[in-house]
Every structure is written in structure tokens, then in C-alpha cells.
Amino acid sequence: MKHLIIGTAGHVDHGKTALVKALTGVDTDRLKEEKDRGISIELGFAYLNLPGGRRAGIVDVPGHERFIKNMLAGAGGFDLVLLVIAADEGVMPQTREHLDIIQILQVNKGIVVLTKSELVDEEWLEMVTEDVKDFLQGTTLEEAPILKVSAVTGQGIPELLEQINNMTQETLSRSGTGPSRLPVDRVFTITGFGTVVTGTLLSGTIRAGDVVEVQPQGLTSRIRSIQVHGSKVEQAEAGQRVAVNLAGLEVEQVERGSVVAGLKSLTPSYRLDVRLLLLRSAARSLKNRARVRFYLGTAETLGRVILLDREELEPGSIIYAQMELEAPAVASKGDRFVIRSYSPMQTIGGGAVIDPLPRRKHKRFRKEVLHALVTREKGSPPELVEQHLLANPGLLRTDDVAAGTGLQVSDIEEAVQILEGEGKVKRLSDEGKSFLVSNEIYQRWAKEINSLLSNYHRDFPLREGFPKEELRSKKFSTLTNKVLQLLLIEFEKDGLLRVLPQAVAQKTFMPGPGPVMEKKMSKILGMLKDAAFLPPSWGELCRSTDLNETEGSELLQYLIRTGEMVKVSEDLFFQKDALRQAVEKVSGYLQEKGEISVGEMRDLLQTSRKYALPLIEYFDREKITRRVGDKRLPGRALG
């Protein structure tokens, strides 16, 4: 293993800190109160140079029952545990509780260290060893080696170092890929540098200069510098103990339990779907909505356990549940957690996060809910991607799916290819960006949109289609205009609708009047054509054909959009052929005379100044004419 974090565990005063000092030369009790009382209260940190040349981080945890929450803040980053049991006392209450925590967190590599062996004779030591073996039966440390050591005389220390070194070869490295994640276990300030946080980097790589987020506070910062084991480095990798100097943040803004992570890689949530074990050693069953203390990473919060398939959970049972938390948590799929009873404070269970961002509060006693959680926990990458897309209707980026499923981006890409081939996923691509949506949701959207369009075309047969902005507001408010256009174009490619510059229409729809409106429209166009350059107002035209205000407005917009009528000025509309004739007459006059006045145009068109003036101003706007004083000369459109 490239990097290794070794943690201690065990009852108070069983010699954990003395053992660490014997291994490393470092006294991890740094607080005055710890020195005065002779016990560890806070987490202690050191590093160990292994015989093979590698350097491992060591986290020394307090053993007193009052400081279990501090122990939990350190235990989540262990790769290998030293379960420390004093030879003169044997297994004690906190030995049992620490072992329960180790098992819940699935720290599966460990060494049992019988300390203070110099205080007992060989016969007693053998008896304690047998007791310890019985104690470990059926646990993750059942096959762990048991070594007898003395931090005072140094007996067994070389053998322990060799055993640790050998175990590093068997311990899997943490993932260096994916977003970086650093649960914070200590925060302090250094004069001239600012806020510094420490923790075990659980995944990814961090570099000096990286922009990161501090969650759940939602703060953005830049990594000013990094230290590993007291030495400044340019980057740190998963599995290392690191100290990170964060720029732009006050020490009060960050706390133990915060997580330093890659940008947009973690989202806080007050709700988590989990697989939950209630320990056999729990004093009583756990009732639905029981209030518990919840420990995740280095964070502690309060919450309630929602049992999804029963009213009461018996000791030794494993179920699916939903945690409702009183403060937001940040998690990834597979993260281990521990729960303790609210009062008295005792470790009673724990498990794994199945979904770090459930979209809703689950209804209890629903088979479909439990089935979905089974898939979420145990499904293949294609099953997980399909389920996530179905549960999150929208256009999702690959990174969104990775955050929601706990899968690597490469696994998601392979899964999407399979799902595309099965017709279960649609991928929309534009300018190097890809968006994913379940085909089931895609088809449902298409059906819903076509229903909207059908009603819209019925109510507004003269309009070209449903306005895009109104569609975005009604159904796709979370999408930008650009992404909505991408989706609509995909619908059009699939023959599901037609996309216009400003609107959307059913594939076969063509705007037009019905039989009754057709007659009224023909009458209006005829009246305009007959009136030539003396057109009646639109209001007069509507009254003459018995069109109400709404009908008149719809028809007017239709005629203008189709070009049958042209708006010259407010409430002045010309029929297209009449306007074309006006343009031809004025153009001919300008070719012959070179200029024209309003009066000359009035006489040329045999109209009145009421129509001639707005018409010639319309010609100016359209570059047919250009005004010079009181005259009009040929415009660019005639040039």
C-alpha cells in the first residue's frame, strides 16, 4: 500500500499513547489537561517510519467513554487498527465499544497489542491471550495476530513494527481518482498564515492552488499550502494525513466535521438512505423515529431513524432505513457511519450510506421503495445509472450522476453506452458537453409537451406554436434557454415535434383559420385590397366582420406573421399587394424625378395626408426612401 493510516483503539489507560511514543518517539498528548490527568482527551497525531522505507500516519484516539465522539472523529480514516489491551486488565468496556466501532466502520485489518506485559507473569499473559481470542471470535479481527509488548522495556516493539510493515503489503490503497475529500478533524490558526485544517484525505488528490469547497457550510477557498507529516509538499494523495492552509477563511467558519472537497462534488443533505445494523449488544430494540447521535466522517449530529419496513428494530437485525438529520451532512455512497443512543450515550449500531441525496421522504411499508434501495445498494453500474436517472428527472451531467451514484466517471461512461444500446438512456451533446436523461422520462416529456401543444393549437389555431419561454417556465424552469433548445432539437430529430425560432409546434400542425374565420379573413383582406391606399382601421375591419377583441387580436397577429398584412404605423395596416403597388409607384416616381415630397406622394397614390405621412415614414425605416429636409430621395433599398 502506498499510503497508510494506523489508528489505535482500546480502553482508557491501557497504554495506547505510550505505545505510539515507543513506536515513533512522539508523545501525542499535547493538551495541558491531558498531561495533568494522564489520559488522552483529543486525537493525537504522529508518523511512523516503517522498515520497508515507507512512512505511515498514526492517529491516537482517547479511550475514555466520555470521549468516544473524539475517537469516532479519528476512526473513519483508519486503514489498519492497533487494538490495545492491557495485559494486567484484559478486555474492558471501552475495548468492547471500540471493537464494535471498528467493525461497523469495517476496519478489517488489525493487530491486537497486549501492552504492559512487563507487569504480569507468563501464565497470566497466556490466560489473557486466550480470553482475547475468545473475545475476538466472530469479529473482523478474529484472525488478527496478537503481540505481547512493553512500551517501558521495548519488548515486542521490533516485532510489532515488522508485523505492521508486512500488513501494509496486504492493505488496499485508497482511491486516488475522483473528487478529493478531506473530513476535518482539527482546525487552528497560525499567525501570518491563517486557517489550517487537518484530516485524512479519503479520496482524490489535492494540490497547492486548488480551489475547493468547505461543506456543509458551502464556502469556497483556495489551498494556499499543504503539509504531510510536518513537511511542505505541492500535493497530497488519498490515504495521507494532511494539514491544509485555506485562504480567505476565518477559523470560526470551519469546524471539526466540515469536509474540504473538490468543487461541486458534495451536496449537503438533511436526509440519507442507509443500510442499518443494530448491534446484538444493544440494550434494547430501536423504535421508529428514535432520536440518536449520528457520526459520519468526523462529524457528529442528531437525527431520527425512520424504519421503512417495521415499527421496531431488534438487536442483531439489519434493515434499510432513512436518517432524518437535524443538521446537514455531506456523504458519498458507501460511507460508513455509527449511531449512539441519545441517552445514555452508548454505541448501538451503524452501517453504510446507500443514497447521500434522496430526493424525497420515503413512504414506509412500500415494496417499491425497498426494491429501489436494494438496487441502489447492490446494482450493477448500468442499473445504478438507470435508477438514478429515473429518480432524478432532468438533464444531468456525468459529474451529477457520479456524485449521486458513487460511481467513477469511467464506469458511468461504460454504463451509458450499454443503456444507450438498450434504448434506456438518451445522451444529448453540444459543444463537448453531454447531458443524460432516462429515455422513459424523455418519452414522458414528449407526451406531456404534445398534450400541451394539442390544447394550445386548439385554443390558438392562428398562432405558429407554443412560445419557448412559456414552455421553459411551465415545464423546464431549471434548464437554461440553451439547454432547453438542445432538448427541443433532440425531440425534433426524433420526429416528436417541430422547433421554430420562438415557438414549438406539433409535427403536423400548420396554423390557419377554421371555416368561419376563413370567411371573415377573406372579407377583411378583400376590403383592404379594395381600399388600396385608404385602408380602414383594424377596429373598423373587426366591427364589419363581427370579430370580438380576442379574435381580432389573434387574426391580426396571424396576418402580420404570414405577411398578408403589413403594419405601417399604430393602427394602420396595408394589404400586402396594395403596399407593393405603393412601393412600385414611389420607386418609379423617384427614378423619374429624383425626389418626392409628402404632398407629391399623396397625389401620386390618390390618398390623404393621414395615410401618406405614416407611409412615407415607413418607407424611410425600410430604406426605400431617405429624408433630406422636406424631401425624400431614393434609399439604399432602391439603390
Q: Is residue 519 domain-resident?
A: no
Ranges of beta strands (E only) in 22-145 are 44-49, 55-60, 80-86, 110-115
Render pLDDT for 439-480 as a digit per residue (tens, 0 to 9): 999 999 999 999 999 999 999 999 999 999 999 999 998 888
118 occurs within a structural domain = yes
pLDDT mean over 42-56: 77
Q: For 161-188, b where at least 16 C-beta lie within 10 A, e where not — what string?
A: bebbbebbeebeebeeebbbbbbbbbbe
As a whole number of angstroms, the distance between CA 51 and CA 164 comes to 9
pLDDT at 254: 95
Q: Among 262, 287, 322, give the residue marking a domain's end.
A: 262
Mean pLDDT of the chain: 89
Per-residue pLDDT at 392: 85
Residue 91 lies in a domain: yes
Domain boundary among 341, 370, 399: 370
**CB-based burial, 198-236: b 16+ in 10 Å, e otherwise:** bbbbbbbbbebebebbbbbbebebebbbbbbbeeebeeb
pLDDT reading at 622 higher than 80: yes
User: pLDDT tens digit string along 124-151?
Assistant: 999 999 999 999 999 999 999 999 999 9
Domain membership flag for residue 212: yes
Q: Where are the alpha helices (DSSP H) in 594-637?
A: 598-605, 609-621
Q: Is 90 exceeded by the pLDDT of residue 509?
A: yes
The three-class DSSP label of residue 58 is strand
Determine the Cα–Cα distance for residues 349 and 340; give it in Å rounded to an integer.
7
Question: 294: domain CATH number?
Answer: 2.40.30.10
Residue pLDDT, tens place only, 60-89: 777 555 656 776 776 777 889 999 999 999
User: What are the residue ranges of helices labelled H in 79-202?
Assistant: 93-104, 122-136, 157-168
Tell whether 82 and 30 lie within a shared domain. yes
Rounded (to 5) percent helix, strand, coil in the chain = 35, 30, 35
Torsion of CA 477, 483, 485, 489, to 10 degrees: -120
Residues 354 and 422 in one domain: no
User: Do the beta carbons of residue 93 and residue 99 sit within 8 Å?
Assistant: no
388 and 502 belong to one structural domain: yes
Q: Which residues pair with 297 in a beta bridge?
A: none
Quick: pLDDT tens for 513-540: 999 999 999 999 999 999 999 999 999 9
pLDDT tens-digit series, residues 99-126: 999 999 998 899 999 999 999 899 999 9
- Please tell me the predicted confidence (pLDDT) of residue 31: 44
- Interval 319-342: pLDDT, tens: 999 999 999 999 988 899 999 999
Q: How confident is residue 265, by pLDDT bands cut at 50, 70 and 90?
A: confident
More confident residue, 510 or 406: 510
518 belongs to a structural domain: no
Residues contacting 592, CB < 8 A, separation 6+: none
**Whose CA is closest to 84, among 176, 173, 13, 179?**
13
So what's the pLDDT on residue 382?
92
**Which has the minimum average pLDDT: 21-30, 207-216, 346-355?**
21-30
Residue at 358 is within a domain: yes
pLDDT for the residue numbered 55: 80
Q: Which three cell numbers stand for residue 119?
A: 507487569
Query: Domain for residue 176, yes or no?
Result: no
Looking at 240-244, 258-262, 406-410, 500-504, which range is the least confident one? Answer: 406-410
User: Residue 619: which domain range?
Assistant: 532-638
| DSSP designation for 175 | P
How many whole angstroms separate alpha carbon 293 and alpha carbon 302? 5
- My answer on whether 26 and 150 are in the same domain is yes
Same domain, 35 and 164: yes
Cα–Cα distance measured from residue 1 to residue 253, given in angstroms and rounded to the nearest whole number: 35
pLDDT band, very low/low/confident/very high, at 36 (cuts 50, 70, 90) = very low
**Listed ranges 190-199, 333-342, 388-397; the one with the highest mean pLDDT:** 333-342
- The total number of structural domains in the chain stands at 5
Domain boundary among 511, 544, 561: 511
Parallel, antiparallel, or unpaired: how do β-strands 80-86 and 318-329 relate? unpaired
Encoded amino acid at 626, one letter: R
Q: Which segment of 30-39, 347-356, 518-527 scores lowest on mean pLDDT?
A: 30-39
CA nearest to 213, candidates 164, 279, 260, 166: 260
Q: 119 and 13 in one domain?
A: yes
Please state the pTM of the whole predicted model. 0.71
**What tens digit of pLDDT does each residue of 552-578 get?**
999 999 999 999 999 999 889 999 999
CATH of the domain at 611: 1.10.10.10
Long-range contacts of 451-459 (CB under 8 A, 24+ apart): 453/497, 453/504, 453/505, 453/506, 453/509, 454/506, 457/505, 457/506, 457/509, 457/511
pLDDT of residue 35: 45
